[in-house]
Amino acid sequence: MTTALHFDIRPQPDNTTCGPTCLHAVYRYFEDPIALSRVIAEVPTLEGGGTLSVYLASHALRRGYRTTIIPYNLQIFDPTWSAIPPGDIAGKLRRQGAIKRGLPGFERVTEAYLEYLRLGGRLTFEVLTAGLIRKYLKRGIPVMTGLSATYLYNSAREYDLDGRVVYDDVRGESVGHFVVLAGYNRETRRARVADPFLPNPMADGQHYSVDIDRLVCAILLGILTDDGDLLIIQPKRR
């Protein structure tokens, strides 16, 4: 049985705008006419380029959408937090931030999640399985994810040399990326990926299928770039 969405995505304008481009594609899927250039301008960026799922989610909240982040980043979220009331997560984040103050990038990520919760965003803790992804796709909801492009593409690690990407299996580092999951085939156990990166190492175009086990590993390894999560965006109920 195959679950597939009619999902279109544009090429990302540069090497660091995959996140806003995926967010723009989700907006277009829900017939929201906002321009890609505006999304890129409004989503906060990290030093050196790129962004975080939580920044994308907060942008959607400000546009009136409902959002759910399913995180697997153990640097930020302790597994035991899945058992505490959702309203207590912010307090845990504040206490953790005070204790771990000074760790590179930690304060910024913590503040981003606190703002996300203030805006009404949801956090849920669920085991990452094909069934979890299918649950949303069967309801016609695309699933955005921040993952490791290095593992997804099975490519050499990379580094920046004067604005040019260089692949080097010794000198390079793991690189994060955003894609949107738009389908799943239960028989072949392959997920359909809408990818803003073009030219793409996985296919001639921007849509391709990938083995679900490899996809799950790539998502979990997104922790190396402060993501590793699923982001669910839905229009508000009428």
- The pLDDT score that the predictor gives to residue 236 is 82
2-235 maps to CATH 3.90.70.10 = yes
Residue 10: CB partners within 8 Å, gap ≥ 6?
21, 24, 25, 36, 196
Predicted confidence at residue 57, as pLDDT, reads 98
From first to last of its 238 residues, the chain has per-residue pLDDT tens of 688 899 999 999 998 999 999 999 999 999 999 999 999 999 999 987 899 999 999 999 999 999 999 999 999 999 999 999 988 999 999 999 999 888 878 889 999 999 999 999 999 999 999 999 999 999 999 999 999 999 999 999 998 888 788 899 999 999 999 999 999 999 999 999 999 999 999 999 999 999 999 999 999 999 998 899 999 999 987 5
Domain ranges of the chain: 2-235
